Amino acid sequence: MSGVTALFLTPVARIRRQVIRPIAARLAPASDLAASPLADRTVLITGASSGIGEATAYAVARRGGHVLLVARRSDELDRVAAAIRADGGSASTYTADLSDAAAVDELVARVLADHDEVHYLVNNAGRSIRRSLALSYDRAHDFERTMAINYFAPVRLVLGLLPTMREQGFGHVVNVGTWGTQVKAPKYAAYIASKTALDTFSRIAGREAWADGVTFTNMRFALVRTSMVAPTDAYAKLPALSPERAATKVVHALEDRPLTVGTIPGAVAEVVNLVAPRLSDLLFASSDRRFPDSDAARATTSSDRMR
């Protein structure tokens, strides 16, 4: 059998698991949905002390998953873990600064020492910066630290956990990203570039690990009402998902394992960028002028936010 033929011939069992079962789950009555694929599975969630990560942790625990909570703030992690246990769920906490490469490697070692298997990884921890290039000429560190948490940390986690996932024949990684990877919005060069790098890395990793039962989902969220968007006044009156609603989408991605979860406006923007790139440039250049940098971005102190 040629390599090309082998690439496109899908085993029946894989079709059943990744296509038929998710469709059947959507059509099944509510009583049949009680047995979640997350039940009795180990799910590592970064940025679990607030926002989307915290809400996802609660949702996963309610479905019977054992949640490994990762964030920098130990007191907030303890709070989330206590809430999960009080609701009858199971959780473990791991304090780590994911912008520190050595800390990520240490986290992987601790997790694998404490747990036989990690079945799911949710790369949710992230940093967002909204600042125009005109205000960034002497701020290369904005790009470096954004890449550190949004790209290099998830990549190190995947590289650390992927060998055991492949060995056990199952694993799924969900990356909490942005529709900005399709839209290419001005003032988000540092943020969108880092998320685009992770989006592309995951698509390639998914192709390499697919035959071993390990899959990846890229979430391309629009606006979610978290502390990350608070400094931008222009977003205050715009429609946005709640962290809980966003967490529902993350849980569906964990259970159904799609390639991407996005939005219709994001898909439209991606098409316009491809078929009419200069028209897209004109539209976004106009938008760029209409929505100037925030006061926080103009300040000498950092205006970026983490989750």
Mean pLDDT calculated for residue range 31-41:
76
pLDDT of residue 136: 93
pTM flag (> 0.85):
no
| pLDDT tens digits along 118-177 | 999 999 999 988 899 999 999 999 999 999 999 999 999 999 999 999 999 999 999 999
User: Which one has a higher pLDDT value, 15 or 304?
Assistant: 304
pLDDT of residue 300: 58
- d(CA 59, CA 247) in angstroms, rounded, equals 7
* Residues paired with 178 in a beta bridge: 221
What residues have CB less than 8 Å from 29, skipping those under 6 apart?
none
pLDDT of residue 231: 53
Give me the count of residues in the chain. Answer: 307
- pLDDT at residue 33 greater than cutoff 80: no
Q: Supply angle C-alpha 163, 41, 211, rounded to 5.
A: 40
| pLDDT tens digits along 183-238 | 999 999 999 999 999 999 999 999 999 999 999 999 998 878 666 555 555 565 66
Is 191 labeled as catalytic in the residue annotation? yes
Q: Which domains does the chain have, with CATH numbers?
A: 37-226+233-306 (3.40.50.720)
Q: Assign 259 to helix, strand or coil.
A: coil
pLDDT of residue 232: 56
Rounded to the nearest integer, the mean pLDDT of the chain is: 86
pLDDT of residue 304: 62
Q: Which of 58, 151, 188, 191 is catalytic?
A: 191
